[in-house]
Amino acid sequence: MPFIIDVQTCFPENYYTQDEITEFIISAWDGRYSDFSTIRNIHRNTRVGKRHLALPMEHYSSLESFDEKNRIFIEKSTELACGAINNLFACNSIGPGDISSLWSNTVTGFAIPSLDARVMNIIDFRYDTKRIPLLGLGCMAGAAGINRAADYLTAYPDEAVIFFSVELCSLTFQIDNVSIENIISTGLFGDGAAAVLMAGDSHPLACTAPLEWIGSSSAFFRNSETMMGWDVGEKGLKIILNRDVPAMTETMLPKPLYDFLESHDRNINDISEYFAHPGGPRVLRAIEKVLDLAEGELINSWQSLNENGNMSSVSILDIFKRYIDCSTTVKQGQAALSLAMGPAFSAEIGLFKWC
C-alpha cells in the first residue's frame, strides 16, 4: 500500500485576528449594509480566532475585477506552493529530481498553465515529471488528492509523488455582495497552502512513513449542486453556501461512511483519529454526531478552524500535519479516517493505519 511520508504547510505573512477582520468588513460595507451587529454575531459564531490573508487587509476594498484578483491569485499561489514544497524537501531526504509525479489543486482561482507547471519553472523538477492538476472539488479536494495520488502509487509502488493544494479564499471577497452567505464567507474562510509527500511501498522512504493508506471511497449525492460552490462572474467567484449543509451531512453521510468501513471489516469503534475537514462549527458538530463523538472531540479540526479559518481543501491537510506532528508509537497499528465534503454535494473518505 502507499504511504504518507510528510505534510508541510505555508501561509501568507498577513495574519489577523477575527475582530480585526470583522471591523475591516464593517468599514468596507459602510453605506451598503447597516446591521453591523449581524456581521459581528455571524463572525463570532464561526469559532474562528485568526486567519492568514494573501494581501494586507486594507488592499481588499479596492479589488473589483476578476482579472486583477486572478493575477494576484496566480502570483501568490505559486509562491505559497513553492514554500510548502520546499518545506517538504528541507524536512526529508529527498529532492525534486526524486519526484515522478506532481499533483496540484485549487478551487479559488484559475491558472492555465496550471499551478504545477508554474511551480516547475521555479523548482527544478525533472522535465518528465507527470503533472496532474485538480479543479472544482472544493473543500474535499485535500482528501481526494491524497486518495487519487494513492491510487496512482498503488500502480507505481517504486515512485514518490507530491500533492499540493493552495487556496486563497480571501480573493473571492466581493464588496458589492452583502448577502448572508457572503457575510458568513467573510467570517469563515482563510488562505494557505499545503504539500503532501507520498511514496509507494517499494520506495526507500516507505520505511520512514507515519501513515499507511489502506483505501478510499467517494460519494456523490445527486441534484445537490446548489448546496455549496461558486458562481463565476465578471467580478470573480461568488459563494454558494446553503444553510442545509449540516443537515444534509447528518442525513447523507452515514450510509457511504458505514458501507466503506464495513467493506474493510471495520466499524467506527476501530478508528483512533479523524482527519475531518472543518467546514464550520455546524458542519463539525454534524460530523461529530455522525461519528458518535462528543462535541469538541475533533480537537485538531476545531483548532485548525480557530487558528486558520476554513482554508477549503488546505484545511484537512493542515489537520493531517497536526496529527502527524504529535504522533507517537502508541498509535502504531491503529486506524485513522479522513473525511471531507465538497460541491455537488459529495464526500471523500480515506482509511489509514499508523505505522
pLDDT of residue 11: 98
Q: Reply yes or no on whether 91 is catalytic.
A: no
| Overall CATH class of domain 209-354 | alpha beta
> Measured in whole angstroms, how far is the alpha carbon of residue 289 from the centre of its chain?
22
* Residues 344 and 324: beta-carbon distance below 8 Å: no
- Please give the grid coordinates belonging to residue 245: 449543509
Q: Choosing from 139, 169, 326, 355, which is the catalytic residue? A: 139
Domain boundaries, the chain: 3-207, 209-354
At 220-264, the pLDDT tens digits run: 998 888 777 777 777 778 777 778 888 889 999 999 999 999 999
Q: State in Å, rounded, how far the first CA of the chain is from the last one.
A: 12
Tens of pLDDT, residue by residue, the chain (355 residues) = 899 999 999 999 999 999 999 999 999 988 788 789 999 999 999 999 999 999 999 999 888 789 999 999 999 999 999 999 999 999 998 999 999 999 999 999 999 999 999 999 999 999 999 999 999 899 999 999 999 999 999 999 999 999 999 999 999 988 888 888 999 999 999 999 999 999 999 999 999 999 999 999 999 998 888 777 777 777 778 777 778 888 889 999 999 999 999 999 999 999 999 999 999 999 999 999 999 998 888 999 999 999 999 999 999 999 999 999 987 666 889 999 999 998 888 999 999 999 9
Q: What is the pTM for the complete model shown?
A: 0.95
Measured CA to CA in angstroms, residue 302 lies from 6, 15, 283, 288 at distances of: 22, 18, 11, 11
DSSP 24-71: HHHHHTTTT---HHHHHHHHHHTT--EEEESS-GGGGGG---HHHHHH
Do the domains 209-354 and 3-207 match in fold? yes
- DSSP E strands, the chain: 3-10, 14-17, 50-53, 101-106, 130-135, 160-168, 191-199, 211-220, 228-233, 236-241, 271-276, 335-342, 346-354
Q: How open is the CA angle 298-299-303, to the nearest 5 degrees?
A: 125
Assign residue 29 a region (left: φ > 0; alpha: ψ between -120 and 50; beta: otherwise): alpha
For the domain with range 3-207, which CATH number is right: 3.40.47.10, 2.60.120.260, 3.30.565.10, 3.40.50.740? Answer: 3.40.47.10
